[in-house]
A and B are shown apart, each in its own frame.
Chain A
Amino acid sequence: MSSPVGDKTRAIRDALAAALRPEGVVAHQGELEVRICAGTACHASGRPAVTAAFKDELATRGLSDKVRVVETGCHGFCEQGPIVVLQPKGIFYPRVRTDDVAKIVEASIVGDDVVENRLYKDPKTGERVALEKDITFYSGQKRLVLALNGKVDPYSIDDYLTLGGYEALAQVLVDDDPDKVINVVTDSRLRGRGGAGFGTGVKWSFTRRSPGDEKYVICNADEGDPGAFMDRSVLEGNPHVVLEGMTIAAFAIGAHEGYVYVRAEYPFAVERLARAIEQARERGILGEDMLGSGFSFDVHINQGAGAFVCGEETALMASIEGKRGMPRTRPPYPAVEGLFGKPTNINNVETYANVPWIIRNGAEAFAAMGVGNSRGTKIFSLTGKVANGGLVEVPMGSTLRHIIFEVGGGMLPGRQFKAVQLGGPSGGCLPNEMLDTTIDYETLIATGAIVGSGGLVVVDDTTCMVDLARYFLEFTQEESCGKCVPCRLGTKRMLETLERICEGDGRDGDIELLEELSHYVMDGTLCALGGTAPNPVLTTIKYFRDEYEAHVNEKRCPAGKCKALITYFIDPEACTGCTLCAKKCPTNCIAGDKKQPHVIDVGNCIKCDTCRQVCKFDAVKVRSGIEHAAGVAGEA
């Protein structure tokens, strides 16, 4: 029995099946494969040479046609790059160097063994772990968005199609019911992953209900937060999942044109995304009458030009229109009046990447993860003084302790946990006592920090919290677009005050002044940049007030970071007289004979920290306190 509806369903299914060209598939199940991570960090630590070495080695052994070498998207374990995973077993080799390649091929590809001393070493137990799935960094995670990262070749749409890609889109097109899509997304309780956490389904329904034939969808990939790189990794590792999510959103709201606004600092992401769009067009998945459904949608890439404020939605749209990227007042919200004055739906990369999963697995499965009003998973980029930095995807409601000490493997050897900085320049620093805080939108706001885009920077006792606050304010001050006076001048005054404190010229009442200014800045600005810029200052004052007081009252930097407040000296007990520091000193201010303790001429010392870094005996130390610095310099 054939009905028009049944015909259309079959047509879409057939078109999707036809889009796959099996000869292009690289991710064959069960075949021998060398998967090399081609993320930015692995690339910078020598991925191209490792790939070449594997290809050469396999060619010399005549194995080129039996074993495939695939460069995949980011595996997320950036600390251990370049990463190589051997399939089908999943043997994981971290920090591979070109001279290891022959050994690895010999043992694990030709033979059935592992190169024991090149395997990953667990930082806690010290044991070697062979398989990717057994590594705590991966086993402690719940990967939804990142599931296919590291499994697919980002340049191949066939890889993505083999693993169920664009199924969700086909299903949506078959159902042909935009309201149903919006209901599913609303029921899943997915919230925007870019920082503000607005309900995605609600946003879509607003845009859908806005009058007008011409509507747009925008993907915000202007990931400006220093220390956050999850959007980049998703775009670099699996660009199709973002395209699929965007297309579903376009169908739901009735848009036919979309823009992806990517930072120009991410050249790989731009290149891979452009390739993905091209492939999807070729196969009839994007463009006119996609998959024979009658629905049309196309995507353009728009490169940013290095302005942090363009991550704000109205500023981003101004930038696409070719203007200075300045935010404007809301309402009207983009859902009513957005790009080129038309209703626009704008979501973050990670938000779109969640959508195909939700459509495939249902709203209940997604809502089952997480706590309270925060559902699903969230990717964090864990960096700083932590043993296993990288991309961590965990269900909402996980504790900071779980992320840092279970998944992240704890602190680097010999380092003491001091604080964790969440959410970049808009977020805050949380101390040791707050480690059991669960990560969800509401709980974190109560602490003064935010989920933000998901940057987690772990700092140790050598980091000065006042300096860290100063650093963030320097950033927001630089990036403030200048439209709102409280943001333009308020952050400037705050920065000056913090600089004064770090220089040892802090005055009584400076801390209170910072708090007072913070509230003016937060109240008097249009967009979230100004509204959250004081967060790093407020949270560091809240949790580390003693450090501020030490700077202001005692002219002392407890962490030994603020240059004006410290002096370098050599401990005569520990110094062996190896002369290494004297050789490395750029100003030749270290004197001493061989095998005799050395002395630093404090008057000429520029405090570049080189001597302390090169000393193998920890003999170079830092003294804190301005009277000390001045006194010794005076003597010299």
Chain B
Amino acid sequence: MLGMFKAMRTTLRHLPMRKITVEYPEQRDRLPERSRGLFRVVIDPASGEPRCRACTLCETNCPVQVIRVNYTSKYQLAVPNVARVATRRLEAQPDVDLKKLQPVLDDFYAHGTGLIAMLQQTQDVYGYLPRVALQELSLQRGESLSRLYGVASFYNQFRMSPVGKHVITVCHGTACHVAGAPLVTDAFCEELGIEVGKTTKDELFTLQSVSCVGACALAPVVRVGDDDTHGRMTPDKARKLVADLRASEGVE
């Protein structure tokens, strides 16, 4: 009993005090006055080399002379970790051309694009978000890779693996659901031999579902790619659609 009152007293004593916790990482408490942070050398995606040209401007201007520019080969940078990441990420996904990312980065440096818009642009370039591209964005933005993954995995729009040539999207809005969208999805799964969200082995088809495309009058709606909309679908029409698409690709 006494213990409880003691605990209550502690609680009450702390109640009017200023809160000392913050919602990290959205909010960060002010760093200690003498905190210096870390330097980082930005890597140019086009060449894979550091953007630093060793002009020594920073070295001469630094008021406390903490920067020293060493004239060494690029693999012995002052921040060795960055160089290692740079080579390793290129080896990991050789088919991802980081040069294509340049317009996205240019846009970021020119206008300070928001993170989500930047990820959307990256997805427009590659069709998905390749790991190396995310690593590149993380280096260029100076934000941790985990934060980028956190944002990318939160939103349904972002994909982490390549998609097939034809992306089949079945609308699962309420109107489509009551008009039989689940049966249409089942027919696609059966016909393509994949689950929703997956891509066929021949990389021709990706099947996905979306919560509403807003064309409820045509329920159930199926979209192939971005613009080819098919309304009033049935399982039978779904099988025929797959057959037609396969025929157009010359696949049996």
Please say whether chains A and B are actual partners in one complex.
yes
| Residue A122 CB within 8 A of the other chain | no
Type the 1/0 row for B193-229, where 1 means its CB is closer than 8 Å to any CB of A.
Answer: 0000000000000000011111111110100001001
What is the distance, in angstroms, from B123's C-beta to the closest C-beta of chain A? 9
Residues of A within 8 A of B239 (CB): 586
Do the beta carbons of B226 and A232 come within 8 Å of each other?
A: no
- Tell yes or no: A463 within 8 A of B by CB: yes
Q: Evaluate contact between A586 and B190: CB separation under 8 angstroms.
A: yes
CA distance A609 to B237 in the complex (A): 12
Q: Which residue of A lies closest to B155 (CB)?
A: A305
Chain B, residue nearest A232 (CB)? B214
Is A323 in contact with B216, judged by CB distance below 8 angstroms? no
Please determine whether B214 and A608 come into contact, CB atoms closer than 8 angstroms. no
- How many of chain B's residues touch chain A, expressed as a range? 35 or more
- Name the B residues within 8 Å of A457 (CB-CB): 174-175, 178, 216
Whole-angstrom distance between the alpha carbons of A320 and B117 in the complex? 9
Chain B residues near A468 (CB-CB < 8 A)? 177-178
B150 touches A (CB below 8 Å):
yes
Name A243-294 residues within 8 Å CB distance of B.
264-267
A45 at the interface (CB under 8 A from B): yes
The reply to whether the CB of A568 lies closer than 8 angstroms to some CB of chain B is: no
Query: B24 within 8 Å of A by Cβ?
Result: no
Residue among A322, A381, A421, A481 making CB contact with B216, cutoff 8 Å: A381
Do B234 and A613 touch (CB < 8 A)? yes
Among B26, B158, B172, B213, the residue within 8 A (CB) of A265 is: B213
Determine the residue in chain B with the shortest Cβ distance to A482. B154
A383 CA to B179 CA in the complex, in Å? 10
Identify the stretch in B3-11, B58-66, B84-92, B180-188 within 8 Å (CB) of chain A at 4 or more residues. B180-188
Contact across chains for B219 and A383 when beta carbons are under 8 A apart? yes
The total of chain A residues at the interface (CB under 8 A) is 62
Check A307/B217 contact, CB under 8 A, given A226-B172, A457-B174, A471-B174. Answer: no
Residues in A whose Cβ lies below 8 Å from that of B23 = 328
Give the residue of A223, A303, A479, A609 whose beta carbon is less than 8 angstroms from that of B117.
A303
* CB-based contact B174/A455 at 8 Å: yes
B170 to chain A, nearest CB (A): 13
Contact yes or no, A305 B119, CB < 8 A: yes
Whether A325 contacts B218 by the Cβ 8 Å rule is no
| A607-631 Cβ-contact flags toward B at 8 Å (1 or 0) | 0111001100000000000000000
B173/A227 in contact, CB under 8 A: yes
Give the distance in Å from the alpha carbon of A381 to the alpha carbon of B212 in the complex.
Answer: 13
Q: Does A475 sit within 8 A of B, measured CB to CB?
A: yes
A225, CB-defined interface residue at 8 Å: yes
For residue B188, give the distance in angstroms from its CB to the closest CB of chain A: 11
Q: Which residues of B contact A463 (CB under 8 A)?
A: 178
Name A428-447 residues within 8 Å CB distance of B.
none
Contact indicator A45/B218 (Cβ below 8 Å): yes
User: Residue B142 at the A interface, CB < 8 A?
Assistant: no
> Contacts A225-B212, A455-B174: A44 and B226 contacting too (C-beta < 8 A)?
no
State the CA gap A43–B26 with chains docked (Å).
42
Which of the residues B116, B158, B213, B230 comes within 8 Å of A319, measured between beta carbons? B116
Within residues 114 to 164 of chain B, which ones have a CB less than 8 A from any CB in chain A? 114-117, 119-120, 150-151, 154-158
| B235 contacts A by Cβ under 8 Å | yes
Tell me if B231 is interfacial: C-beta within 8 Å of chain A. yes
Which residues of A (490-505) have their CB < 8 Å from a CB of B?
Answer: none
| Cβ A226 vs Cβ B190 within 8 A | no
Q: Which of A266, A318, A323, A421 contacts B174 (CB 8 A)?
A: A421
Q: How far is the CB of B118 from chain A (nearest CB, A)?
A: 8
Chain B residue nearest to A324 in the complex (CB): B154
Q: Which of A160-168, A189-197, A384-392, A592-600 contacts B (4 or more CB under 8 A)?
A: A384-392
The answer to whether A224 and B157 touch across the interface, beta carbons within 8 angstroms, is no
B190 to chain A, nearest CB (A): 7
B236 at the interface (CB under 8 A from A): yes
CB-CB under 8 A from B214, the residues of chain A are 40, 223, 228-229, 232, 265-266
CA distance A390 to B215 in the complex (A): 10
CB A534 to nearest CB in B, in angstroms, measures 17
**Residues of B with C-beta under 8 A to A385:** 178-179
Specify which of A226, A323, A421 lies most central, judged by the most chain B CB atoms within 10 Å of its CB. A226
Q: Does A459 contact B (CB under 8 A)?
A: yes
**A306 B156 Cβ-Cβ under 8 A:** yes
- Interchain CB contact (< 8 A) of A586 among B172, B175, B187: B187
- Is A78 a contact partner of B155 (Cβ separation < 8 A)? no
Closest 10 CB pairs of A and B: A78-B217, A322-B115, A306-B156, A226-B173, A305-B155, A44-B229, A229-B214, A383-B216, A227-B174, A383-B175
7 A-B contacts, Cβ less than 8 Å apart?
A78-B217, A319-B116, A324-B150, A457-B174, A457-B178, A472-B174, A606-B186
8 new A-B pairs (CB below 8 Å) besides A41-B231, A325-B154, A468-B178? A40-B215, A226-B174, A226-B177, A265-B213, A306-B157, A455-B174, A609-B180, A613-B236
